[in-house]
Amino acid sequence: MRNAPTILHLDMDAFFASVEQASKPSLRGKAVVVGGLGPRGVVATASYEARVFGVHSAMPMGQARRLAPNAAYLVPRFGLYRSISEQVMGLLRGLSPLVEPLSLDEAFVDLEAGAVAWDAASAQLVGERLRADIRAVTGLSGSVGLAASKMLAKIASEQAKPDGLVLIEPGTERAMLGPMTVRTLPGVGPATGDHLRRAGITTVDEIAEAGEDELVRLLGKAHGHALYAMALAHDERPVVAEREAKSVSVEDTYDVDIHDRLRVGMEVQRLADRCVRRLRGAGLSGRTIVLKVRRYDFSTLTRSETLRGPTDDPAVVREAAARLLDSVDTTGGVRLLGVGVTGLADYTQEDLFAQAAAGAEGAAGSSAEEDVAEPVTEQEAVAERRWPAGHDVRHAQYGHGWVQGSGLGRVTVRFETPGAPGPGRVRTFRVDDPELEPAEPLPLVPGGSVDGVRA
């Protein structure tokens, strides 16, 4: 392990919700919940104001509404979040060639490799300046952790939340980690935590005391070994730049185009299994399942789905690939099929013990939009799909605004823009008002850009 705290971990605060608050002045300082609003929807995230009521990511939306009935409930706008993520990642790449994004709002940066920091004082300065730059460019706050290893940098940014910076001085790691709950360690979620607790292990010190053999006996070889090392604050994993980050994929080209839909389905299942064997062979797991289809006319489509947590479970990958295939038209024949897994993780990410369950519950990310409508009548469903809560609109007379809600043939719009000093006015229209149309998001910061945004 290096002896200077020059690994930086950044994680944006309440990311989706903060973007919504930045773009909608009336929601600043208010409880905001972003997620799927349909009957099976789950919370993607909640603003810190909403977390006070107990609302958190992955909670069923119905439960969130009971806990925080007065919060604003919004459908995610992934295009906007992606474009802001790009701005943030761009700032990180300005610091070092070694930037490892873990998700839209989170990345490791090796400051030493960028020659921008070499000791605690210089690392602290870079971290503070980065937070200021992020605020200037995006209007949002991110929390920064600095330490001599990835694991500790991530723990530090968690401690820094929200809107802070924590630096862990090398040499103090063991003493700091010891009394903390095992849940602090990466890879220990609720399931692994329960498992350890039943064995009488609740703190990091108790993992160290239990010894490596006991950990392996409890959690299996790979996980037990890794967890023991982390409890001793041993973590030598390098920051891996995005372009080096591996993705595992397999594909087959067919001599004769496949026309039979059943056969296409079977091939996809076979490729999914092969892909998982490779993945496991490399000791990896990944969050995003990708399906590639080249059709008879050489048109090539890729479809992807992002799961809540990384998986290396063949059943989960097979099911995701099958769902993706459902959305692809293969009439006319298929020349090539491929299945891949990206967003790879080693043991750093989520609760490895519970990953199969998370995968089985389906995707939390991109599929949320499908949950939007709870059809009261056909017309209601159409209205809600055309006017999702939180999405931008433009009215010929009143200008730019966003959908506060819709129902009973009406849509309520609040006319306000990101730069405005305070809340804008609310007006209600018929859902088929010819003067009202969906609009692209505006930049969060005056003069900023939202290149490539498609909400």
* Residues in contact with ligand TTP, shown as a per-residue x/- string from 211 to 250 under the rule CB under 6 A: ----------------------------------------
Q: For residue 394, what are the β-bridge partners?
A: 400, 437
Q: Which does 426 bind (CB under 5 to 8 A by kind): ligand TTP, Mg ion, none?
A: none
47 sits near ligand TTP (criterion: CB under 6 A): no
Whole-angstrom distance, CA of residue 327 vs CA of residue 419:
39
44 sits near ligand TTP (criterion: CB under 6 A): yes
- In the chain, count H helices and then E strands: 15, 17
| Type of residue numbered 16 | F
Is residue 435 annotated as a catalytic residue, yes or no? no
106 sits near ligand TTP (criterion: CB under 6 A): yes
By beta-carbon proximity to Mg ion, the closer residue of 105 and 319 is 105
Q: Which stretch binds ligand TTP (CB under 6 A): 66-74, 99-107, 378-386, 421-429?
A: 99-107
Shortest spacing between CB 143 and Mg ion, in angstroms: 8
Q: Is 105 annotated as a binding residue?
A: yes
350 sits near Mg ion (criterion: CB under 5 A): no
Q: Is 11 annotated as a binding residue?
A: yes
By beta-carbon proximity to ligand TTP, the closer residue of 310 and 338 is 310
20 sits near Mg ion (criterion: CB under 5 A): no
By beta-carbon proximity to ligand TTP, the closer residue of 206 and 351 is 351
Shortest spacing between CB 89 and Mg ion, in angstroms: 13
DSSP, res 298: S
Is the Cα torsion angle 109, 115, 116, 117 positive or negative in sign?
positive
Whole-angstrom distance, CA of residue 342 vs CA of residue 363:
14
Residue from 5, 6, 8, 13 touching ligand TTP (CB under 6 A): that is 13
Residue from 37, 167, 316, 364 touching ligand TTP (CB under 6 A): that is 364
Q: Which stretch binds Mg ion (CB under 5 A): 4-12, 79-87, 200-208, 261-269?
A: 4-12
Helix, strand, coil percentages, rounded to 5, for the chain: 40, 25, 35
Closest CA to 130 of 173, 168, 171, 99: 99
369 sits near Mg ion (criterion: CB under 5 A): no
Residues 6+ apart with CB under 8 A from 148: 1, 2, 3, 4, 5, 6, 7, 168, 170, 173
16 sits near ligand TTP (criterion: CB under 6 A): yes
Residue from 20, 49, 100, 105 touching Mg ion (CB under 5 A): that is 105
Closest CA to 30 of 21, 42, 39: 21
Residue with tokens 């397999």: 250
14 sits near ligand TTP (criterion: CB under 6 A): yes
Shortest spacing between CB 192 and Mg ion, in angstroms: 19
Which stretches of 266-319 are assigned E, i.e. beta strand? 285-295, 300-311
φ and ψ of 412, to 5 deg: -100, 130
15 sits near Mg ion (criterion: CB under 5 A): yes
Shortest spacing between CB 105 and ligand TTP, in angstroms: 4
Shortest spacing between CB 113 and ligand TTP, in angstroms: 24
- Measured from the Cβ of residue 125, the count of other Cβ atoms closer than 10 Å reads 12
Residues 6+ apart with CB under 8 A from 121: none
Whole-angstrom distance, CA of residue 325 vs CA of residue 319:
10
Cβ atoms of residues 417 and 445 within 8 Å: no
The residue from 20, 106, 206, 267 that is catalytic is: 106
203 sits near ligand TTP (criterion: CB under 6 A): no
Question: Which pair of structure tokens corresponds to residue 439?
Answer: 């609009």
Q: Which of residues 54-73 bind ligand TTP (CB under 6 A)?
A: 57-58
Shortest spacing between CB 148 and ligand TTP, in angstroms: 22
11 sits near Mg ion (criterion: CB under 5 A): yes
162 sits near ligand TTP (criterion: CB under 6 A): yes
- Measured from the Cβ of residue 425, the count of other Cβ atoms closer than 10 Å reads 11
Closest CA to 403 of 418, 394, 395, 414: 414
By beta-carbon proximity to ligand TTP, the closer residue of 44 and 210 is 44
Q: Is 130 helix (H, G, I), strand (E, B) or coil?
A: helix
Which stretches of 325-387 are assigned E, i.e. beta strand? 334-345
By beta-carbon proximity to ligand TTP, the closer residue of 320 and 436 is 320
Shortest spacing between CB 106 and Mg ion, in angstroms: 4
What is the DSSP track for 177-235?
HTTSBGGGSTT--HHHHHHHHHTT--BHHHHHHH-HHHHHHHH-HHHHHHHHHHHTT--
Extract the annotated binding site: 11, 105
Please give the positions annotated as active site: 106
Residues that bind Mg ion (CB under 5 A): 11-12, 15, 105-106
> Which residues of this chain interact with ligand TTP, rule CB under 6 A?
11-16, 44-45, 57-58, 103, 105-106, 161-162, 308, 364-365
> Which residues fall in the annotated binding site for Mg(2+)?
11, 105
